[in-house]
Amino acid sequence: MQAFLDQVAGFATDRVAPAAAGWSMGQSPDAAIVAEAAALGLFGMEVPVAQGGAGLDFATRTQACAILAGADFGFAMSLVNTHNIALRLCQIAPPDLRDQYLPSLLSGQTSACTALTEPGTGSDFAAVTTTARQHRDGWRLNGEKTWIINGRHAGLSIVYAQCASPGDASGIGAFLVDLTAPGVTRYAIDAGFAQTSMGTGGFRFNDVALPTQARLIAPGTAFKAILTEINAARTYVAAMCNAMMSAAIETVQSHGAIRHSFGKPLNAIPSWQSHLADAVAALDASRAVTAKAVALVTNGEDAQLAAAEAKIAAVTSAQTHLPELLQLMGAEGLRPEHPFTRHLAAAQIAGFTDGATNILKDRVEKLTAKQRT
Ligand SMILES: Cc1cc2nc3c(=O)[nH]c(=O)nc-3n(C[C@H](O)[C@H](O)[C@H](O)COP(=O)(O)OP(=O)(O)OC[C@H]3O[C@@H](n4cnc5c(N)ncnc54)[C@H](O)[C@@H]3O)c2cc1C
């Protein structure tokens, strides 16, 4: 376990961090680095050994994701999204579908994604309008998914689609979609900052033919299944935000020891130190909440409240303190070889993915109100 995490740390320091500066300015991760990630077993961390994975537990997977995110959140998110589809195939796909796609996911040849969000709906997942209609030899898929991690290059997706009437949460099913199939078109999404290492993009489905067995989760259970799965995602995203904070704090600490101003090192200036101390305290608090969620998810216990609290704490802490940490660096902090600007953008993204912060706050309020009564 520790040997694996040490290897991941070496990969993050030696390969991911140096490349991330280029990714933050629009370059894309190359095939060599993806192959190295695959050789390390990063696409099969929680996949059972019998299926060619490493059979690690959720806690170890989360630590690996966090180590990678300390160097580049986008690259880590891209890897873990492919990993999640590999894991789902092992958990819920018919064996022949699993065996058809799993080897190319584990080898990094094919990337994959989970597609819920649409142009007209994000937070309100029950309102998805992509439809899957039964056809004599299977299903026909129509609609559009947008803001999807790995959307630019993914070969495979689990797509959530409405099988009944619009707005009916119990009518939503989940379908395995080969994104190279006729009728699928894709587009890249750019923001005011580069999205290349995350591969953000979208798809349009125009009467895409799916075999009967492509329906992985039947209507009636897909809505609940995604809400359960999302607790794990919220938890590892929290750990990834903590890792970005930690990387930024370490960089500031090193800089503060060597950069002099008015004849003394920055770290000898009380007001400079006090901002750093605030960030360290916030990180410690956020790590404690995250550890609780990691333990619950790892043990298969109810993590709904803990995962939401962890993500709120970690995202808010990163969004609050990363700008202050950048400020402590002076102009030097803007250089792309330092992680501040890409981690800032990533903290904003983390505030949307797997449940926007407002939505999570409302969830926490509802769950704790229940506990109070
Ligand atoms: C870089 C990136 C990658 C992503 N990757 C994926 C992916 O791989 N797969 C996928 O399916 N989706 C993905 N998403 C989409 C993400 O899940 C959505 O952005 C998120 O669900 C929020 O939806 P929205 O952006 O449409 O915001 P909206 O739902 O339009 O909400 C806008 C704002 O209003 C708030 N709000 C909305 N409704 C309420 C309410 N009832 N109460 C309180 N506040 C509310 C929200 O919190 C938010 O702040 C990604 C997004 C980004 C930015």
Please tell me whether residues 88 and 100 are part of one structural domain: yes
Residue 125 CA to ligand 1 center (angstroms) comes to 9
Can you tell me which atom of ligand 1 is nearest the CA of 117?
11
User: Which CATH number does the domain housing residue 148 bear?
Assistant: 2.40.110.10
Please tell me whether residues 169 and 292 are part of one structural domain: no
Given the structure tokens 């690996």, which residue do they identify? 64
d(CA 188, CA 167): 28
Given the structure tokens 């009636």, which residue do they identify? 220
The model's confidence at residue 222, banded by pLDDT at 50, 70 and 90, is confident
Please tell me whether residues 122 and 204 are part of one structural domain: yes
Please tell me whether residues 197 and 231 are part of one structural domain: no
Please tell me whether residues 246 and 362 are part of one structural domain: yes
Supply the DSSP symbol for 14.
I
Q: What is the mean pLDDT of residues 322-339?
A: 96
d(CA 270, CA 292): 33
136-153 b/e (C-beta count within 10 Å ≥ 16 → b): eebbbbbbbbbbbbbbbb
Supply the DSSP symbol for 121.
B
* Number of residues that make up the chain: 373
117 lines ligand 1 (CB under 6 A): yes
Residue 122 CA to ligand 1 center (angstroms) comes to 4
Residue 12 has pLDDT above 90, yes or no: yes
Per-residue model confidence as pLDDT tens digits over 38-83: 999 999 999 999 999 999 999 999 999 999 999 999 999 999 999 9
d(CA 315, CA 283): 11
Please tell me whether residues 238 and 314 are part of one structural domain: yes
Please tell me whether residues 136 and 212 are part of one structural domain: yes
Per-residue model confidence as pLDDT tens digits over 85-129: 999 999 999 999 999 999 999 999 999 999 999 999 999 988 999
* Range of lowest pLDDT (147-156, 190-199, 272-281, 342-351): 190-199
306 lines ligand 1 (CB under 6 A): no
User: Which CATH number does the domain housing residue 291 bear?
Assistant: 1.20.140.10
Residue 373 has pLDDT above 80, yes or no: no
Residue 224 has pLDDT above 90, yes or no: no
Per-residue model confidence as pLDDT tens digits over 232-288: 999 999 999 999 999 999 999 999 999 999 999 999 999 999 999 999 999 999 999
Q: What is the mean pLDDT of residues 319-342?
A: 96
149 lines ligand 1 (CB under 6 A): yes
Please tell me whether residues 170 and 203 are part of one structural domain: yes
291 lines ligand 1 (CB under 6 A): no
H/E/C letters for each residue in the chain? CHHHHHHHHHHHHHHHHHHHHHHCCCCCCCHHHHHHHHHCCCCCCCCCHHHCCCCCCHHHHHHHHHHHHHHCHHHHHHHHHHHHHHHHHHHHCCHHHHHHHHHHHHCCCCCEEEECCECCECCCHHHCCCEEEEECCEEEEEEEEEEECCCCCCCEEEEEEECCCCCCHHHEEEEEEECCCCCEEEEECCCCCCCCCCCCEEEEEEEEEECHHHEEECCCCHHHHHHHHHHHHHHHHHHHHHHHHHHHHHHHHHHHHHCEECCEEHHHCHHHHHHHHHHHHHHHHHHHHHHHHHHHHHCCCCCHHHHHHHHHHHHHHHHHHHHHHHHHHHHHHHCCCCCHHHHHHHHHHHCCCCCCHHHHHHHHHHHHHHHHC
Domain boundary among 193, 219, 245: 219
CA atoms within 13 A on the CB side of 86: 31
Please tell me whether residues 212 and 227 are part of one structural domain: no
User: Which CATH number does the domain housing residue 100 bear?
Assistant: 1.10.540.10
Domain boundary among 84, 110, 136: 110
Please tell me whether residues 227 and 209 are part of one structural domain: no
Q: What is the mean pLDDT of residues 31-36?
A: 98
What pLDDT is attached to residue 221? 87
The model's confidence at residue 1, banded by pLDDT at 50, 70 and 90, is confident
Strand 138-148 to 201-210 pairing: antiparallel
82 lines ligand 1 (CB under 6 A): no
Per-residue model confidence as pLDDT tens digits over 161-199: 999 999 999 999 999 999 999 999 999 998 877 778 999
Please tell me whether residues 63 and 202 are part of one structural domain: no
Residue 360 has pLDDT above 90, yes or no: yes
Please tell me whether residues 246 and 186 are part of one structural domain: no
115 lines ligand 1 (CB under 6 A): yes
- Domain total for the chain? 3
Provide the domain limits for residue 66.
Answer: 2-110
Residue 124 CA to ligand 1 center (angstroms) comes to 8
328-364 b/e (C-beta count within 10 Å ≥ 16 → b): bbeeebeeeebbbbbbbbbbebbbebbbebeebeebb
What pLDDT is attached to residue 194? 74
349 lines ligand 1 (CB under 6 A): yes
Q: Which of 279, 264, 262 is nearest to 327 (CA)?
A: 279
| 3-class state of residue 187 by DSSP | strand
What pLDDT is attached to residue 357? 97
Given the structure tokens 């996949």, which residue do they identify? 47
Q: Which two tokens stand for residue 191?
A: 């923001």
C-beta of residue 286 within 8 angstroms of C-beta of residue 313: yes
Q: Which of 68, 86, 58, 62 is nearest to 14 (CA)?
A: 68
What pLDDT is attached to residue 263? 95
Ligand 1 pocket check: which of 189, 352, 357, 360 to mutate, most ligand atoms within 8 Å of Cβ? Answer: 352
What pLDDT is attached to residue 192? 77
Better pLDDT: 257 or 228? 257
The model's confidence at residue 297, banded by pLDDT at 50, 70 and 90, is very high
Domain boundary among 190, 219, 248: 219
